[in-house]
Chain A
Amino acid sequence: MNKKKFIEFLGFFSLRICVYLVLAVILLFVYDIGSKGVGSINWEFLSQAPRKGMTEGGIFPAIIGTFLVTIVTAILAVPLGMFAAIYLNEYAKQTKLTRIIRLSIRNLSGVPSIVYGLFGVILFVNILKFGTSVLSAGLTLGLLTLPWTITASEEALKTIPNSYREGALALGATKWQAIRTNVLPYALPGMLTGTVLGLARAAGETAPIMFTGAAFYLPMLPKSLADQFMALPYHLYVMATQHHAISQVRPLAYGTALVLIILILLMNLAVFILRFRLRRVIKD
């Protein structure tokens, strides 16, 4: 009996160690980037372009570039994702075709990001002749984000009870009228918050934009969608591995990493607060 208890104690103890280990790694990451990055962040760092071969100055063009490319991503992935989710949740029946669509979505979310990059080079850069540009990179990231926005939007639609749809249909509304008046208004906030999370992930991607439009260094901001751009994640990669004076610019790399993480955490936090509020509104 005692042996059994002892084994149980040992077992649960080792599980606890696993949890502590994971938490310790996360804290170590956050602490390392936070403590070493915070010194580089000041107004100049956020508002100016890199200077003197990127050994001084800031990351302003990279922030703007990431912002622009994320907008293009959103324009492609958000509406397409919502429409596809509406089809899957509201119209699709349990047919073989529906199963194929669902299987394709799950498989698309497993396609390596660099493969999306290759596809972007073929389709957007070469065939459609968008060149290496904000547009090509944004569309490539849009395709990458699409499976996430579909899944998130469908989760939101699933939370709407069937009685809402049936109520409208019983009053003589058509299917679309029922969806438009009794489903979408309630599902839309959830759909939007879910897609913002997808966009936050897309904003941190590097591999898909390396060959579709992100530039090593540009002295000016992109003037149109056809221009190349600097992006935060790619800038971090450059500062960490490609720069000619890597140890000299390490503080700048830490600063870039911190800004990138803060940007993504802010997007997540916004979604978290929005969800919390919406839940309260719906309860009332």
Chain B
Amino acid sequence: MRNIYFRKLKESIIRAFFFTNGILVVFILMGIFFFLLYTAIPAFREIDIKEFFTSKNWNPTSPVKEEYGILAMIVSTFLVTLGALVIAVPIGIGVASYLSDVAHWKVREIVKPIIEILAGIPSVVIGFLGIVLFGPAIAKISGQSHGLNAINGSILLAVMALPTIISISEDSLNAVPRAYKEASLALGASRWQTLVRVKIPAALSGIIAAVMLGMGRAIGETMTVLMATGNAPAFPSGFLSSIRTMTATIAIELGEVPYYTTHYYALFAIGLVLFIITFFVNLISDLVLHKFQEREL
């Protein structure tokens, strides 16, 4: 009898061990949030919270009057993200449709690994290519002295978002029941009509989730925008202006700021805003995808 009790005890200890590892991720996520919050709060002893979000001027090292407004960075982040989505969404859905509906399986087997290579290229290398490849080209076309601006960042972020958008969109297109396609073709629709009016609408929630996921990545991406967008801390006036995103500001200034100053805390406050924005973008993407999967079942 003792043996059985011992065995049961051992089993429950093992189970508890694995459970501890499983639950750890919840604590890590909460830990990130609370540590950021805890380090961000002291910033607002000296900065007016309303000014923080609505002022366009970020000038923490000014000898006359320090200013902590992040509106220009938020707008810059969304501008460069918007540009990326405008480029990546149509191309991504196009490639996904081609792979799921048009391409011969042999073509698919070749193209998919090549796109996966793209997903494996580190962001710092993509940023480097923005400097050496796209920058000079954009400068030539636009007639500006250099090509480090919002559109450069948008192109690079689009390239980085493409593998995510393509693979999830393709999965959701493949998950559309065959019967939909067959019914449409049987009614006399062409393959193109079937794709555009039946399959893509049926897969729409999956595609939206893919786009949201790509958007979350683009908002939080640091190295590419840091290297390719010029980092002028002014309010952006368009896609050809040099911009500075939230992520780039943290990357540029955290290395030089003295610890435990208002400036230091303010950088963590930017990090907190970034965390909250990407958290909700990912959450919405997750809910949309979940709904989509439930409906399929």
Contact = CB atoms under 8 A, between A and B. Distances in A.
A174 B32 contact: no
Given A7-B192, A175-B15, A176-B14, A206 B29 contact: no
Given A83-B21, A201-B120, 9 more contacts: A32-B133, A108-B25, A112-B221, A117-B250, A176-B14, A176-B15, A204-B123, A237-B227, A241-B131
A28 B126 CA distance: 12
B254 A115 contact: no
B143 interface: no
Nearest to A1: B190
Interface stretch (A13-21, A38-46, A50-58, A67-75): A13-21
Nearest to A123: B35
B292 interface: no
A205 B271 CA distance: 18
Contacts of B111: 19, 23
Interface residues of A, number: 84
Interface of B is mostly: helix
B162 to A, nearest CB: 6
A5 B275 CA distance: 49
A105 B283 CA distance: 11
Nearest to A25: B159
Interface stretch (B43-51, B52-60, B90-98): B90-98
28 contacts: A11-B192, A16-B98, A18-B98, A19-B94, A19-B98, A22-B115, A22-B162, A29-B118, A32-B129, A33-B125, A80-B21, A83-B18, A101-B22, A101-B26, A114-B220, A114-B247, A114-B250, A118-B36, A176-B14, A205-B123, A207-B123, A236-B125, A254-B132, A257-B128, A260-B122, A260-B124, A265-B117, A265-B120
A254 B115 CA distance: 22
Given A23-B111, A104-B25, A146-B25, A112 B220 contact: yes
Interface of A: 4-5, 7-8, 11-12, 14-19, 21-23, 25-26, 28-30, 32-33, 80, 83-84, 86-88, 90-92, 97, 100-101, 103-108, 110-119, 121-123, 126, 143, 146-147, 150, 174-176, 200-201, 204-207, 210-211, 233-234, 236-237, 240-241, 250, 253-254, 257, 260-261, 264-265, 268
Interface of B: 7, 10-11, 14-15, 17-19, 21-26, 28-29, 31-32, 35-36, 38-39, 90-91, 94-95, 97-99, 102-103, 111, 114-115, 117-118, 120-129, 131-133, 159, 162, 166, 190-193, 195-196, 213, 216-217, 219-223, 226-227, 247, 250-251, 254-255, 259, 267-268, 271, 274-275, 278-279, 281-283, 286
